[in-house]
Amino acid sequence: MTIAVLGATGMVGSRVIDEAGARGHQVIALSRKPAAGSPGNQNVTPVAVDANDSHAVRAALDGSASHGVADAVVLTLRTTPVDEEFLVGATRTVLDIGARLGIRVLVVGGAGALRSPDDRNLLVADNLAYVPADLKAVAAAGIAQLRTCRSHAHADHVYVSPPALLEPGIRTGRYRRGTDTLLTSADGRSWISAEDLAVAVVDELETPGPDHLITVVHHGAVPRP
């Protein structure tokens, strides 16, 4: 499979690239300032692309460049400070291109769009136990991304919500999968490493499930460095 990753140098994007490349997939690593490909992984092709340039994004996905046509694209964009208009616009662009080219789109969003585990009528974005006031704008941008996906005509897409805490860590390959409600792990926390989120993303691309909204959480014993 040829997998394009938009946001290739970010915390999630870089790990999706490592995971997909390690499994033997061809990876098109798309970012404004691409990093050099890993010397030990010839499956990764870095490509400079501005997510605001829809023509450049399409050329990177449809085989117009030197690499092949993408079978799937993973959108892992983040901005600091958060820019909801940019994220929504880039999401719509990728969905438009995915629909025209017939390729699967996977959007790595946020936890804010999920239902609270103790109150399904309360979104995580509105639950101060998970989203403090200073992160409300980030959560709102994730919800806007999900709404963009749900309102788009392209049916072959999935929105992946991480748990409340996502951080660099250890790849265990163990996670639990859910749909529209925030999950917690055995220790009561809602968290996963970026490495294990990447495992879940590539698993979903290799074996697509029926749901358009999924979430994951770490499963098993607490990993140690």
Per-residue pLDDT for 66 more than 60? no
Residues of the chain above pLDDT 70, percent:
93
Confidence at residue 39, expressed as pLDDT on a 0 to 100 scale: 47
Q: How confident is the model at residue 67 (pLDDT cuts 50, 70, 90)?
A: low
Spatial CB neighbours of 36, under 8 Å, sequence gap ≥ 6: 46
What values do phi and psi take at 114, rounded to 5? -85, 165
Which of 2.60.40.10, 3.40.50.720, 3.40.50.10490, 3.40.250.10 would CATH assign to domain 2-218?
3.40.50.720
Q: What is the mean pLDDT of the chain?
A: 92
- CA distances, 82 to each of 44, 46, 86, 139 (Å): 28, 25, 9, 10
For residue 186, the model assigns a pLDDT of 79
- Give the range among 29-43, 79-93, 138-152 with minimum mean pLDDT: 29-43
Q: What is the pLDDT of residues 92-144, one digit of tens each?
A: 999 999 999 999 999 999 999 999 999 999 999 999 999 999 999 999 999 99
Check pLDDT > 70 for residue 38. Answer: no
Q: Please name which of 43, 44, 45, 73 lies closest in space to residue 58, comparing C-alpha atoms.
A: 73
Q: How confident is the model at residue 28 (pLDDT cuts 50, 70, 90)?
A: very high
Per-residue pLDDT at 223: 57
